[in-house]
Chain A
Amino acid sequence: MADQTASHSYAPEYPWWLQPIATVVILSAFALYSIWVAFQARGYVAPYLSPFYSPPVRVGAIPISPAWWVVWVPAGFRATCYYYRKAYYRSFFRDPVSCMIGESRRRYAGETAFPFILNNLHRFLLYLAIIVLAFLWRDTVAAFFFDGRFGVHLGSLVFLVNVVLLSGYTVGCHAFRHMVGGNLDCYSCARGGRVRYRLWQWVNPFNHQHAPWAWASLFSVAAADVYVRLLMAGVISDPKLF
């Protein structure tokens, strides 16, 4: 029989490598798709503005795709997100690839050294992501107006679902939870403490489901952009629902 230091035999309900591989495939595919989208330099078909291009920013005569001025904000927000950190540390860096699975890499600095120490700046990307989210809500409202008249098309609902999922993901952010009330020690004695306690309580359910919100909103962003691109290419029409 093996000694105490032998490899472990803990087997979860499904193969331990399944989740890391799925994470690598999905995140890599999304990153590649985002880069491709940003290089397209256009993402608008009335009244829909691709979420990768919102807000539409142009800086002087610099000839780059407007997406590059914006896309780094949500990308950085997700890259420093506590949930995605868990996902990519496990999947891309195998630190650890799964609980109780031995690690081959001996050098480990965690988040104490460059580059991962930059994850401590997550809150600043949250602030910027909230601004971007406000523009996405504006775009969603615009997606319900066709030639100045209110209407509901399939694309309107795609945009609505996307912005709701993005809002759920943003509200559930750990840094947001900290900001609204988690940073207080004494709710009963702080100015506005009880309101902040209620806010903190309201945010908690979103925070506890941060991972599902993170994945769902990732897919919805891609779906909203794909919808816009299919409309731009004339592959699909935008059916009017009512």
Chain B
Amino acid sequence: MTDATLHVFRGDKTGGDLRTYQVPVTEGMVVLDAIHYIQQHEDSTLACRWNCKAAKCGSCSAEVNGKPRLMCKTRLDQFMGSPVTVRPLAAFPLIKDLVTDVSWNYRVNQEIPPFTPARDDTGPWRMYPEDVDRMFEFRRCIECFLCQDVCHVLREHDGTSRYYGPRFMVRIAGLEMHPKDTVSRAHLLRGRGGIGFCNITKCCEEVCPEEIHITDNAIIPLKERVADEYFDPWRALLRAFRGRREPRGT
């Protein structure tokens, strides 16, 4: 049994540094296992958020060797004996050690108008596969916020007051493309949602553990819908004559 060297961030909002731990490696071990080993055998005060250990709850997000990852899905053997550095998500305020305050995301979520069917359309609804298959991908999101962490608008440009971030572009896309939803969120996207701040550099796609095509399938289609509303005089003319109709396609 060999040992892995882990440099783990220890500290709180007042400051901190990396501390080094030696952890015996077993077959199939992931970074979260190593963190648990440290908690159990070396330092029980190490703070870390986790829940399912199956890459489905999105709790154990951290920056492993500088890349946002789920600790429970990151095997130690991929680093081939090199030291592994584990830091908290840098885009969010630090609470302690590897735990950050991600509550901003939940406040953003509340700003998004929820699914709103027509008042007189009470169901039961018959849903066709072609109408909902786009949304299955968006429903895979586990809210790990790795995409929010890697988004350079939020991370490098203090964008939390200007841009909702990739996670909520995915949520809005799922609502906007729903065949029974009647609310347009184009105004929200262009304003408070700040979709114009996204310059589609696709870092969010690179870190998504659910492999959601965040940019291609959510953000860009939303940008095109905003262009429909605000940058397309031809469509504006059509709307003026034919009246606004929601949802699209009915």
Picked from A1, A10, A82, A208, the residue with its CB within 8 Å of the CB of B18 is A1
Chain B positions 228 through 248: 1 when the CB is less than 8 Å from some CB of chain A, otherwise 0 = 101110000000000000011
B114 at the interface (CB under 8 A from A): no
B81 at the interface (CB under 8 A from A): no
**Alpha-carbon distance between A181 and B249 when the two chains are bound, in angstroms:** 10
A183 at the interface (CB under 8 A from B): yes
Chain A residues with CB below 8 A from B87, complex form: 4
Indicate whether A188 sits within 8 Å of B131 (C-beta atoms), given known contacts A2-B18, A4-B11.
yes
Q: In the complex the two chains form, is B228's CB within 8 Å of A183's CB?
A: yes
Indicate whether A183 sits within 8 Å of B130 (C-beta atoms), given known contacts A1-B7, A10-B65.
no
A205 at the interface (CB under 8 A from B): no
Interface-centre pick from B88, B131, B230 (highest chain A CB count, 10 A) = B131
Residues of B in contact (CB 8 Å), total 61
**Alpha-carbon distance between A100 and B85 when the two chains are bound, in angstroms:** 14
The segment from A34-42, A110-118, A129-137, A224-232 that touches chain B is A110-118
Give residues of chain B (195-212) contacting chain A, Cβ–Cβ below 8 Å.
196-203, 206-207
Chain A positions 44 through 88: 1 when the CB is less than 8 Å from some CB of chain B, otherwise 0 = 000000000000000000000000000000000000001001100
Q: In the complex the two chains form, is B223's CB within 8 Å of A188's CB?
A: no
A138 at the interface (CB under 8 A from B): no
**Alpha-carbon distance between A175 and B201 when the two chains are bound, in angstroms:** 17
**Alpha-carbon distance between A208 and B248 when the two chains are bound, in angstroms:** 24
Q: In the complex the two chains form, is A111's CB within 8 Å of B196's CB?
A: yes
Q: Which residue of B lies closest to A207 (CB)?
A: B216
**Alpha-carbon distance between A208 and B216 when the two chains are bound, in angstroms:** 8
Give residues of chain B (63-80) contacting chain A, Cβ–Cβ below 8 Å.
63, 65-68
Indicate whether A110 sits within 8 Å of B178 (C-beta atoms), given known contacts A95-B199, A95-B201.
no
Chain B residues with CB below 8 A from A121, complex form: 227, 231
Chain B residues with CB below 8 A from A4, complex form: 9, 11, 16, 87-88, 90, 94
Q: In the complex the two chains form, is B63's CB within 8 Å of A8's CB?
A: yes
Q: In the complex the two chains form, is B66's CB within 8 Å of A11's CB?
A: yes
Picked from A86, A100, A182, A188, the residue with its CB within 8 Å of the CB of B202 is A86
Q: In the complex the two chains form, is B11's CB within 8 Å of A183's CB?
A: no
Interface-centre pick from A10, A90, A208 (highest chain B CB count, 10 A) = A10
A238 at the interface (CB under 8 A from B): no
Picked from A9, A108, A184, the residue with its CB within 8 Å of the CB of B248 is A184
A25 at the interface (CB under 8 A from B): no
Q: Which residue of B lies closest to A183 (CB)?
A: B248
B53 at the interface (CB under 8 A from A): no
Chain B residues with CB below 8 A from A188, complex form: 128, 130-131, 179
Chain B residues with CB below 8 A from A102, complex form: 156
B220 at the interface (CB under 8 A from A): yes
Q: How far is the CB of A213 from chain B (nearest CB, A)?
A: 14
Q: In the complex the two chains form, is A175's CB within 8 Å of B224's CB?
A: yes
The segment from A144-152, A159-167, A190-198 that touches chain B is A190-198
**Alpha-carbon distance between A121 and B178 when the two chains are bound, in angstroms:** 26
B250 at the interface (CB under 8 A from A): yes
Indicate whether A117 sits within 8 Å of B224 (C-beta atoms), given known contacts A3-B16, A185-B179, A185-B248.
no
B33 at the interface (CB under 8 A from A): no
Q: In the complex the two chains form, is B231's CB within 8 Å of A10's CB?
A: no
Q: In the complex the two chains form, is B66's CB within 8 Å of A187's CB?
A: no
Q: How far is the CB of A99 from chain B (nearest CB, A)?
A: 4
**Alpha-carbon distance between A106 and B158 when the two chains are bound, in angstroms:** 9
Picked from A1, A99, A175, the residue with its CB within 8 Å of the CB of B150 is A99
Chain A residues with CB below 8 A from B19, complex form: 1
Q: In the complex the two chains form, is A89's CB within 8 Å of B197's CB?
A: no
Q: In the complex the two chains form, is A89's CB within 8 Å of B227's CB?
A: no
**Alpha-carbon distance between A120 and B230 when the two chains are bound, in angstroms:** 9
Question: Mind listing 25 A-B residue pairs with CB under 8 Å?
Answer: A1-B7, A1-B18, A2-B17, A3-B16, A9-B85, A82-B220, A95-B199, A99-B207, A100-B63, A103-B157, A106-B157, A111-B197, A120-B231, A182-B221, A182-B224, A185-B247, A185-B249, A185-B250, A186-B131, A186-B247, A186-B250, A187-B131, A187-B249, A188-B130, A188-B179
Which chain A residues have a beta carbon within 8 Å of chain B's beta carbons?
1-5, 8-11, 82, 85-86, 89-90, 95-96, 99-100, 102-103, 106, 108-112, 116-117, 120-123, 174-175, 178, 182-190, 193-194, 197, 207-208
